[in-house]
């Protein structure tokens, strides 16, 4: 798809696509929020700002809004049945230059990754720069809607994560993290702000796993958002996300910051809550098996709503993390009773393989919506290139779910599946693919001998 270059409300199309002639823009949301003076304020009475009134939507902006609604918007709303980011956010963008340009920047960036980069990249860069300028104005205007500013910041953070994936993720999340905590969004935010918090929370969790660290906002601070969730599949998925964040905290908190007894009790407590979550989940929401198992022991699974698939993927990942802790503990305590310990360890390994197979079954089921695919990346593979390279956190083995699958052809399918996600959606998976290739190389060498 090629960009439409007629830009009715912002100069000419050639101006928009010519990044060489672009004015000087702020570098990132990190720079904007670092320089902003934020204080907790009530949501202001709404009066349109000069840069928000009477927007003229150009053909190019409309094109990018449509791309967003059918693409990244579905990722944003995977655990939101109200479809806030596809409906309310787009509606607000029609009267907010800040939000409109932020969405256009994100859509154009995605198109530069999956389409014709030379055509889309200058468009993305220009919209991104304009958005940062408008974000500065919004932060300096007391009457600016906090919800609009937070939503635009999260959209721009998503742009930055697409553009520059890697270990510097905390800079990309800094803006949204700062606004959420300064404005007290978790405890008293508007509906739009609450929806934005859960989008942020998924990014926080995903990047914490990839980088083997705790979430930037402690899961203890999420509690205020839990009572209003309800029992729909999206609400159950968000609750599971919170439980997963707690598992991550137990897993990656440095050893010097947590007593061993506290960690052990924490894993026991959260394991009990994981059991309760699974028991409370309606049986049909766990996925309905279709037909017989395939030759690689996968069962195709049907989910009647995408949010259920996302929640169940998070559940299996949380279970694997807890089971790994149990395996490590059984190794530490092996001298106490070697026979019983070996039996217990064998049982744990069987459970790990079962959860790995369940994740693969969901991911390879036909008709899995694109909005679920970014959620699937970490459950399939969340280890880094050298999981025992440091002593930070409880130093257990960090295994990709793929390693709990014995079939070499199935591992190769997972490799291709992750590779295809980046090619299709622009969602960065290259580091996982590279690591999986490294993991598979000895097995491939042995198989070819």
pLDDT tens-digit readout, 247-263: 999 999 999 999 999 99
The tokens for 206 are 């995903």
Q: In the structure, what pLDDT confidence band is assigned to residue 171 with cuts at 50, 70 and 90?
A: confident
According to the model, what pLDDT value does residue 7 have?
43
Distance, CA of 430 to CA of 210 (rounded, Å): 12
Q: Decide: helix, strand or coil at residue 289.
A: strand
In the predicted structure, residue 41 carries a pLDDT above the cut 70: no
Distance, CA of 436 to CA of 353 (rounded, Å): 17
Distance, CA of 109 to CA of 111 (rounded, Å): 5
Furthest-apart CA atoms within the chain: distance in Å: 76
| C-beta of residue 206 within 8 angstroms of C-beta of residue 378 | yes
Distance, CA of 262 to CA of 268 (rounded, Å): 10
According to the model, what pLDDT value does residue 396 have?
45
What is the C-alpha radius of gyration for the chain, rounded to an integer number of angstroms?
A: 23
Long-range contacts of 81-84 (CB under 8 A, 24+ apart): 81/232, 81/233, 81/234, 81/305, 81/307, 82/191, 82/195, 84/191, 84/192, 84/195
Distance, CA of 322 to CA of 319 (rounded, Å): 5
**How would you class 376 by CB atoms within 10 Å of its CB: exposed for 0-12, middle for 13-18, buried for 19 or more?**
buried
Distance, CA of 384 to CA of 389 (rounded, Å): 10
Distance, CA of 149 to CA of 159 (rounded, Å): 15
In the chain, % of residues over pLDDT 70:
80
Of 314, 444, 286, 281, the C-alpha closest to 380 is: 314
Cα separation values, 202 from 71, 177, 207, 349, 437, Å = 17, 12, 9, 28, 27
Among 61-70, 142-151, 226-235, 277-286, the range scoring the smallest mean pLDDT is 226-235
Q: Decide: helix, strand or coil at residue 348.
A: helix
Sign of CA dihedral 205, 208, 214, 218: negative
Distance, CA of 158 to CA of 105 (rounded, Å): 10
Tokens 């009990």 sit on residue: 272
Task: List strand residue ranges (DSSP E) for 145-254, in order.
Answer: none
Among 157-166, 334-343, 424-433, the range scoring the smallest mean pLDDT is 334-343
Q: In the structure, what pLDDT confidence band is assigned to residue 13 with cuts at 50, 70 and 90?
A: very low
Question: Which H helix or E strand runs over 249?
Answer: helix 233-252
Instruction: Measure the N-to-C terminal CA separation of the chain; round to a whole number of Å.
Output: 45
| C-beta of residue 179 within 8 angstroms of C-beta of residue 150 | yes
Tokens 């905390």 sit on residue: 170
According to the model, what pLDDT value does residue 21 have?
41
| C-beta of residue 62 within 8 angstroms of C-beta of residue 56 | no
According to the model, what pLDDT value does residue 401 have?
56
CA angle 171, 25, 86 (to 5 degrees): 65
Q: In the structure, what pLDDT confidence band is assigned to residue 431 with cuts at 50, 70 and 90?
A: confident
pLDDT digits (tens, 9 = 90+) for 182-235: 888 988 889 999 999 999 999 999 989 888 899 999 999 998 888 666 789 999
Long-range contacts of 327-333 (CB under 8 A, 24+ apart): 327/352, 327/396, 327/397, 328/394, 328/396, 328/397, 329/264
Q: For the chain, how are helix, strand and coil distributed in percent, rounded to 5?
A: 65, 0, 35
In the chain, % of residues over pLDDT 90:
53
Distance, CA of 31 to CA of 335 (rounded, Å): 54
pLDDT digits (tens, 9 = 90+) for 298-328: 889 999 999 999 999 999 999 999 998 988 7
According to the model, what pLDDT value does residue 166 have?
72
According to the model, what pLDDT value does residue 201 have?
96
pTM (2 decimals)? 0.87
Torsion of CA 428, 432, 437, 438, to 10 degrees: 130
Q: How many other C-beta atoms can be found within 10 angstroms of the C-beta atom of residue 390?
A: 10
Distance, CA of 114 to CA of 421 (rounded, Å): 10
- 400 or 371, which is more confident: 371
Q: In the structure, what pLDDT confidence band is assigned to residue 414 with cuts at 50, 70 and 90?
A: confident
| Partners of 301 in the β-ladder | 289
């Amino acid at each position: 798809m090629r960009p439409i270059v007629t830009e009715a409300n912002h100069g000419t199309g050639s101006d928009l696509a010519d990044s060489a002639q672009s004015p000087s823009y702020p570098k990132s949301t990190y720079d904007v929020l670092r320089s902003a003076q934020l204080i907790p304020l009530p949501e202001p009475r709404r009066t349109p700002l000069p840069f928000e009134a009477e927007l003229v939507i150009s053909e190019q902006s409309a094109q990018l809004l449509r791309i967003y609604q059918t693409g990244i918007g579905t990722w944003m709303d995977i655990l939101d049945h109200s479809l806030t980011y596809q409906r309310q956010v787009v509606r607000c963008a029609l009267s907010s230059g800040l939000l409109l340009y932020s969405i256009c920047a994100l859509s154009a960036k995605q198109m530069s990754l999956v389409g014709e980069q030379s055509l889309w990249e200058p468009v993305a860069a220009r919209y991104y720069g304009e958005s940062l300028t408008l974000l500065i104005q919004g932060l300096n205007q007391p009457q600016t809607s906090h919800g609009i500013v937070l939503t635009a910041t999260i959209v721009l953070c998503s742009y930055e994560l697409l553009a520059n994936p890697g270990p510097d993720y905390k800079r990309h999340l800094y803006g949204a993290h700062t606004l959420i905590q300064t404005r007290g969004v978790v405890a008293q935010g508007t509906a739009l702000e609450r929806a934005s918090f859960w989008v942020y929370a998924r990014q926080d969790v995903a990047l914490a796993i990839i980088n083997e660290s705790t979430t930037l906002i402690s899961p203890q601070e999420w509690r205020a958002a839990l009572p209003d969730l309800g029992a729909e599949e999206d609400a159950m998925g968000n609750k599971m996300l919170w439980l997963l964040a707690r598992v991550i905290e137990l897993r990656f908190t440095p050893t010097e910051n947590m007593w061993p007894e506290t960690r052990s009790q924490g894993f026991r407590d959260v394991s009990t809550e994981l059991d309760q979550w699974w028991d409370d989940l309606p049986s049909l929401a766990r996925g309905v098996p279709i037909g017989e198992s395939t030759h690689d022991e996968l069962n195709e699974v049907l989910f009647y709503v995408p949010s259920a698939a996302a929640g169940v993927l998070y559940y299996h990942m949380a279970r694997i993390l807890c089971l790994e802790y149990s395996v490590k503990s059984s190794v530490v305590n092996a001298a106490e009773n070697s026979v019983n310990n070996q039996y217990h360890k064998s049982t744990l390994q069987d459970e790990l393989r079962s959860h790995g197979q369940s994740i693969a079954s969901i991911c390879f089921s036909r008709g899995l919506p694109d909005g679920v695919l970014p959620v699937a990346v970490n459950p399939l593979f969340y280890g880094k290139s050298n999981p025992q390279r440091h002593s930070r956190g409880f130093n257990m083995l960090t295994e990709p779910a793929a390693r709990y699958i014995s079939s070499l052809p199935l591992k190769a399918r997972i490799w291709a599946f992750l590779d295809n996600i980046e090619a299709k959606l622009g969602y960065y998976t290259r580091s996982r693919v590279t690591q999986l290739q490294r993991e598979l190389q000895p097995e491939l060498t042995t198989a070819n001998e």
